[in-house]
Amino acid sequence: MNYPVVGRTFRLGILGGGQLGRMLVQAAIPYDVELVVMDPQKRCPAAEVCHDFVQGSFALKEDVLSFAKGLDAITVEIENVSIEALEELEAQGVTVHPSSAVLKTIRDKGLQKQFFQKHKIATLPFHLVANREELLSRVERGEIAVPFVQKTRTGGYDGQGVQVIFEKSHIGKAFDTPSVIEPLCDIAQEISVIVARGVDGATATYDPIEMVFDPEANLIDYLIYPAPISDHLSKQCIALAESAAEALGIVGILAVELFVEKDGTLWINEVAPRPHNSGHQTIEASMTSQYEQHLRCVLELPLGDVDIKQPSMMLNLVADGSGVFKIEGLREVLALPGVKVHLYGKHECRPNRKMGHVTIMHKDHIKALETVERIRSTLRITV
Amino acid sequence: MNYPVVGRTFRLGILGGGQLGRMLVQAAIPYDVELVVMDPQKRCPAAEVCHDFVQGSFALKEDVLSFAKGLDAITVEIENVSIEALEELEAQGVTVHPSSAVLKTIRDKGLQKQFFQKHKIATLPFHLVANREELLSRVERGEIAVPFVQKTRTGGYDGQGVQVIFEKSHIGKAFDTPSVIEPLCDIAQEISVIVARGVDGATATYDPIEMVFDPEANLIDYLIYPAPISDHLSKQCIALAESAAEALGIVGILAVELFVEKDGTLWINEVAPRPHNSGHQTIEASMTSQYEQHLRCVLELPLGDVDIKQPSMMLNLVADGSGVFKIEGLREVLALPGVKVHLYGKHECRPNRKMGHVTIMHKDHIKALETVERIRSTLRITV
């Protein structure tokens, strides 16, 4: 790896230009790396702040190959990219982190589940179905029990592509697409563990984070960092997450979402091979943010330390309408101590679109929860 | 003030595109503000990362007036700007923070000293001289005692434009330009206090910072934050700095450099109306960085809190040669816990040019000093 380059600036390409890309660009400024972004939307969040922007489809082989010209390395901020293109680039000797093989396994939730099963990494039992008809007939034959959770194998994001079917009579609402079917289990907590793994195999793992979901939108509502769990459970979560990163051999950030059942059983729900919504608070709250850490992995630099500077919570800012929006309550929220607002620069809102987030640093958990509630009732993205 | 603007992005112009502008751009990303930079150098540090760049001279009235078109507000990262242009823009109703009046007073060290004298703000006694000839004759007449410190009234930066004349026989080396002459005093410590003042007159003041200078380059070598001084002295420093910000009526950051004499007497050395080299460590070490704080002032938002997250030190990275450079020891330094390297993206080095800085967060002052020494001997910008 050739960073830093003498006499010119290192050029790193990011496939995808959403908020994760935007925060990666921000983290790269002190490294003097030029971030070049490709996204189909020319007004995407990262386009506004990156060094160079290329409009194109990260899912199209030819677009990715053409994007890669003149870049020193490539990474992603989304999984749904052209694996074929990345394989070809790797064969040419281009640095791609995470690798095409890791992305191929992770971006298909069916392959991801099979991978965990093969590597004896605890994940809920599952069935793969090709379409609604197969699902229906396997339910009829008693192979698949109702209720169940259906997840589309590919293309799901931000709570899209996941639903619970509670009754047999509702099976007509099932997605008619290749899916993973899992039993509905009795979840006590959802935990995220963010692991960074370097090119030398070294790992640095952030303390577990509790994700509190909005049950309607199926989006993270807010986060608690570090998660209020026992040391024993924390260690179990970290060990499980690290085993996944190790088995995958990922270079970069792996965000590992875990279910904790009421009886304490731990399962990997799913993983993401990139900075993750559950790690936004690391910008202010950790010695090294997940964005800086991902960059260190991609540049093949030593990992940064992941000690907590400040316990914190993180609240997603989602819109409640469609179109051109206004931000209400910003001034009041900016006046609160320990509160950092991040706006993503999106030009239009849609219901449940993530428009920004707020990090709340604190010394007192109860007061921080009150601040979260206060921000929720004050700061609104509205049309 | 019209931030945020519904339906489009707020555009803030910065006069000057050095590292201070670069870090201001970085801080503005979460605010969704477009930063537009003007600088004579098209490859300046902020040009690489800002939204739009305009090549031009911030000291030329017509360049500044043309730059201002379509901007919602204007700020500076350097003092040496066209005051006339800013006066004209203010008269047109354009938001300019800090104001032309503040900049006019501060950028001329003679006017600055007269201002402090008039407002009874403790500063060393001084003489103003128009040129070397006047200096010489006033020394001859015994009005000015040798040794003395000579500072050019305008245009000094990074240790340029300041010198000590120790002996009468060396007076031929004096700058032949309008200057401030001060007695050489017995300085025990140099302290910086960074004050932010909002448009409503509210202030937020960071804990005092000790600046340890490189005596040869007359540049900050490293910083200690918070300064290892008594509570009593700390309060005196803060009070003196706030009195200067209040008297000036500045909106934005005022960095106040103070001399502490061996007998404890405190003087204002000079002030800067912008983020300052002595505040770089606030990026990691404070709840609100000086860059975010300056932006809050300029956008007329409530000030952020300035609590310390982590005690820290800051080491300037200066070059030891001229031309295209390489960075030695980066990998080793990045592996140190609590250490953050900031590179400014300069394309060529010159002796004593500031090429970056390193923040060292710590819990142990002595170990942190050892880390500073280790970084100094490891990380080198060299041709």
Question: Each residue of B278-288: pLDDT tens digit?
Answer: 999 999 999 99
Q: How far apart are CA A370 and CA B277, in angstroms?
A: 37
| Contact check, Cβ <8 Å, A30/B341 | yes
Q: Which chain B residues are Cβ-neighbours of A326 within 8 angstroms?
A: 4, 6
Residue B64, pLDDT above cutoff 80: yes
Closest Cβ opposite residue A9 in set B4, B327, B345? B345
Residue-level pLDDT at A160: 81
The overall average pLDDT reported for chain A is 96
Which residue of chain A is at minimal alpha-carbon distance from B53? A51
Q: How confident is the model at residue A91 (pLDDT cuts 50, 70, 90)?
A: very high
Helix (H, G, I), strand (E, B) or coil at A7: coil
The pLDDT confidence band at residue A140, using thresholds 50, 70 and 90, is very high
Which chain A residues have a beta carbon less than 8 Å from that of B302? 331, 334-335
Record the pTM: 0.96
Among chain A residues, CA nearest to B45: A32
Answer whether B63's CB lies under 8 Å from B84's CB. no
Q: Are A324 and B7 in contact (CB < 8 Å)?
A: yes
**CA–CA–CA angle B100, B103, B105 (5° rounding):** 110
Q: Which amino acid belongs to residue B103?
A: L
pLDDT of residue B190: 97
Q: What is the pLDDT of residue B214?
A: 85
Q: What is the pLDDT of residues A285-321, one digit of tens each?
A: 999 999 999 999 999 999 999 999 999 999 999 998 9
Residues B207-224: pLDDT tens digits?
A: 999 999 988 877 889 999
Q: Which of A6, A31, A301 sits opposite B331 (nearest CB)?
A: A301
Confidence bin at B79 (pLDDT 50/70/90)? very high
CA distances (Å), origin A162, targets A20, A154, A180, A218 = 21, 11, 10, 8
Residue B232 has pLDDT above 80, yes or no: yes
B287/A337 CB distance under 8 A: yes
**Residue B273 binned pLDDT confidence (cut-offs 50, 70, 90):** very high
Per-residue pLDDT band for A15 (boundaries 50, 70, 90) equals very high
Please state the rounded mean pLDDT for residues A64-81.
97
Nearest CA in chain B to A326: B6
Closest residue to A338, CB basis, from B30, B51, B287? B287
Q: What confidence tier does A175 reach under pLDDT thresholds 50, 70, 90? A: very high
Q: Which residues of A touch B (CB under 8 A)?
A: 4, 6-7, 9, 22-23, 25-26, 29-32, 34, 48-49, 51, 287, 296, 301-302, 304-305, 307, 309-310, 324-327, 330-331, 334-335, 337-338, 340-345, 356, 361
For residue B89, pLDDT beyond 90: yes
How much is the ipTM here? 0.95
List the one residue out of A19, A14, A35 whose CA is nearest residue A96: A14
Q: Is residue B334 scored above 90 in pLDDT?
A: yes
Cα B303 from Cα B295, distance rounded (Å): 9
**Nearest to residue A16, comparing CAs of A51, A49, A55?**
A55
What is the full DSSP assignment across B11-27?
EEEEE--SHHHHHHHHH
pLDDT at A1 over 90: no
List residues of chain B with CB under 8 Å from any CB of chain A: 4, 6-7, 9, 22-23, 25-26, 29-32, 34, 48-49, 51, 287, 296, 301-302, 304-305, 307, 309-310, 324-327, 330-331, 334-335, 337-338, 340-345, 356, 361
Measured distance CA(B12)–CA(A223) in Å, rounded: 33
Q: B27 contacts in A (CB within 8 Å)?
A: none
Per-residue pLDDT for B225 more than 90?
Answer: yes
**pLDDT at position B215:** 80
At residue A156, the pLDDT reads 75
Q: State how far residue B23 is from chain A, nearest Cα, in angstroms.
A: 8
Tally of CB atoms within 10 A around A355: 23
CB contact under 8 A, B30 and A340: yes
pLDDT tens-digit readout, A331-358: 999 999 999 999 999 999 999 899 999 9
Q: Which residues of B touch A18 (CB under 8 A)?
A: none
- Quote the minimal CA–CA distance from B361 to chain A in Å: 9
Q: Is a pLDDT exceeding 90 seen at residue A166? A: yes
The token pair that represents B235 in the structure block: 């309060």
Chain B residues near residue A356 by CB distance under 8 angstroms: 30
Q: Do A29 and B49 touch (CB under 8 A)?
A: yes
Q: Pick from B287, B327, B340: which is nearest to A4 by CB?
A: B327
Q: Is the pLDDT at B157 greater than 90, yes or no?
A: no
CA distances from A56 to A37, A63, A82, A83, B51 (A): 10, 6, 12, 15, 21
Q: Which tens digit of pLDDT belongs to each residue from A244-292?
A: 999 999 999 999 999 999 999 999 999 999 999 999 999 999 999 999 9
B1 Cβ neighbours under 8 A, 6+ residues apart: B73, B95, B199, B299, B300
From the list B6, B334, B341, the residue facing A324 with the nearest CB is B6
- The answer to whether the Cβ–Cβ distance between A334 and B302 falls below 8 Å is yes
User: What pLDDT is attached to residue A106?
Assistant: 97
Q: Above 90 in pLDDT, residue B2? A: no
The residue type at A327: I
pLDDT of A215 reads 80
